[in-house]
Amino acid sequence: MRRPATILAFLSFFTLIQCQTARAQEVAIGLGFGDFHAAQADSGPFLSLEYLGARNWDLFGFEAGLGVSGQVHQAGDTFVGLGIQGQRALTKDWFVEVSVMPGLFSEGPAGNDLGSTIEFRSLVGLGRMLRNGRRVSLALSHISNASIADRNPGLNAISLRWHMPL
């Protein structure tokens, strides 16, 4: 029943990537573990791909811009979101990254239902600059429906992310 939403979400994701290619700043690939807040849920590893656009705004001291995020869990769950992302330098080599992305979620097994197709992902991470503009970060994220549905179990995750400039 939620498969059409997943297909639509992935088509939107790739369309947005194509539309923003000229403005892109970096791609972040992540590998992590997601913990669903339900006893019958199938928590486990996931793979994420983010397209982080140029950061042209100053928002509360963060360099901010638009971003697109896709996440696929080992149990078949998917999330695709579009929102605002930003980073702030802590030192010459260290930075903080944040993002808030509303999007669409489709559960694999029924136990991984987050209560709504519309979900919101928030992320905070700590990272370090490497050579050639590449970066690595450790991020914590949370996906939930912000109580717009009757059920709101949520999904907490931790991921190691590899950032590559474009």
Q: In this structure, what CATH number is given to the domain that contains residue 84?
A: 2.40.160.20
Q: Would the pTM of this model clear 0.75, i.e. be above it?
A: yes
Instruction: For residue range 146-166, list pLDDT tens digits in order.
Output: 999 999 999 999 999 999 999
User: What range does the domain containing 138 cover?
Assistant: 3-165
Predicted confidence at residue 156, as pLDDT, reads 97
Q: What is the mean pLDDT of the chain?
A: 89
Q: What is the largest CA-CA distance in the chain?
A: 49
Determine the residue type at 70.
G
Predicted confidence at residue 8, as pLDDT, reads 52
User: What is the total count of domains within the chain?
Assistant: 1
Beta bridge partners of 141: 123, 157
Average pLDDT over residues 86-104: 97
